[in-house]
Structure 1
Amino acid sequence: MDPPRICGHVQPKATASLAVQACRDLRQQRHQTCTGPSARSLSMVSMTAGLLAWRQQRHACRSARRASEVMQTAPLFEVEPATPEGWSSKMGIVPPDDIRRRIRLTRGMLERDILAYLGDTVWEYMVLRHQYQQVVRSPFTESQEVRTIRQGRAAVMLHRSGALTGREREVLLEGAQKVWLQKVRWNFEGIRQVGINMYCCALGLRTLLGYAYMDAASSDKDLTRIINEIGLLQKPGMEDQMLAEITGGIFDPSLRPPGNYFLALAPLGHAALRLYVSRYLCERPLVASEFIYRVKLALRQEELDAASIAFLRDSATAEEASLMQGARERGDSYAFAFECLLGHLALNLPYRLHQIVSEFGWARPLEGT
């Protein structure tokens, strides 16, 4: 299947109102956002050299002054709905396996804490993606305690099921072995709430997911097998249908309101972006504390606010601008609207998601784009 082509149709009115609003917002905050060189930079990470695109947008103040003028002439790009094979896989993990550039011997190249952090992000992405397609349970019902307990139980189930290969069992056990000794100083309360055994099992599962996502000896086929065994690859609405049958029709699966659920799309988009940033930093070995700090630094709200305004001005389609406008009507930030868009694309058009992320330098651009 041919990859989507970029069309040069000019539709300036679709996002003109967004540009005007962006200009007003930034002018109101001019004395806060335009007082230092770090605020003028649109780089998502000031400590790395990975940001290759939008270098011309170095000053947020200058962008605000010219936003409304540029939006009247800037071309909007339309992406055809067709996507290459593999981008509409059942699992929907991002980026797909043939783009990810896996690492050899991650158990030696990366610290166990980095693999666990990466695996926890994979867990969060798959849980949010699965729950967005259901009505019966909100993504926000999971506390950190519940999250750890579920991961621990899933680890025990996988270990007993025989679904893992010998190497995957080794990774699971290695990730769980005496891990609480390193964490008890700064997460004593979290360990106390769930117990040492459950906490160690949860860290073992996170390490296994990180290994399956990033190691060259594994593949998305193996990751799909593991996630499917956990139960996060059910068809959309399956849990709703089961609840309707159990309650004898009292629960109506059609109760889901039409349109986009922005409060659930934003965390999904945030998790998708965190996967891209984490995969990028995995190629530059760091200690765990620096790795996690750089991921959080890349996802600061002020960075995403500036990047989302530049995205609206330079390359947003009419549909993407409309979705972000719908999220902004709630009075939320541009970063929130941008994460809502990323979550929507992760569910429906991951190829376009990769195009956007690659423009920021967090992924390798695809051939022909």
Structure 2
Amino acid sequence: MFVIKYASSIMCRAQNVRLLRPCSYAIDLKIGDYSMSKYIEKLVKEYECGDTQNVRKQELKPIMSVLDRRKEVIKNIESLKELLSDPDESIKKLAEEEQFGYDQKILELDEHLKEVLLPADNEDNVNAIVLDVSSGVGGQEAMLFANEVFEMYKGYIEFKGWQCEIAEFMNTDIGGLRHASLLVEGENAYKCFKYEAGVHRVQRIPSTEKSGRIHTSTISVNVLPQPTDIQIDLQAKDLRIETKRASGAGGQHVNTTDSAVRIVHIPTNVAIECQTDRSQIKNRQFAMQRLRAKLYEMQLEEQLAKTQGLRKSQVRTKFRNEKIRTYNFGQDRITDHRVAGNVHNMKVFMLGGAPLDDLIDKLDHQTKLERLRELLDGHK
């Protein structure tokens, strides 16, 4: 049987001290588990029996590469056995220090192995997304919070060095936001933002509340990959495009120019309107992008209804319509209900910088571990 030595919970033989993981949160899925060993044994046999040009063999190469590097480190650890028992204390100490370095390398390789064992999500390498933020329950307070979260995401996009364009923005007179759409482009944009999709709840005393009573309001966030023209084939005969004068604030062009665009996809009766820009051409481009994204979303929902085996981390997961995060301003606490622990310092978090990025990394890591558990459960 293929056995993996030196599990992630390594005990340093010489010091009898458990090495701590180089991360801020615990990982309880050990590489040395029996189910993991059995699964890797199966992959090794599959790799060794495969033809050199076999597609599956090429897929397994990254896994085999990590295992080979792991074997080399273990050989180096084994070569230290005699030195660890050397009567010369200076030699023994040097051997212990060297072993500690090798143990740390094993931990790093184990984390990398977990990454390469999981099949990649097709959408994770999507660099262009549509990000929607909409107010929910809570009236004006929900709209005010929707605007704050929208600004937080714009800050996060700037923090990541990505690009974005506002495709739709429906605000209120007091600075709230009914609904807004952003077209975002950046490396692995979908992989990061997919964990933001769902219901966000805010608990605080609204500025308009005279009695000091805490209100609870909600907003919803939707994240979709921007499909390409190849993914969604839009035929001219299936589209009804209408133009009209824009409404709302915006200057003299509102009443004099037919800049607003409404596109109806006749087969599905999906209608998209856009009046963000002064240019009818620009509004038409935005509306077409949002229409493709909406049709892509419908296609994914149809696939999910037919396929029960889709991984939980794909679009339309349990994160989608659940309350995923609570922002408690009175206690200066952000609680993401999918992971353990809270984040504090609301003012900094709402800037959309490193604290939000760290939380997204934590969510990504936990999701991958859950998927790995499911993968191993299916091969018991």
Give TM-score, length-normalised by structure 1: 0.24
Q: Which has the higher contact order (CA 8 A, sep 6+)?
A: 1
Q: Name the one with the larger helix percent.
A: 1
Q: Name the one with the larger strand percent.
A: 2
Give TM-score, length-normalised by structure 2: 0.24
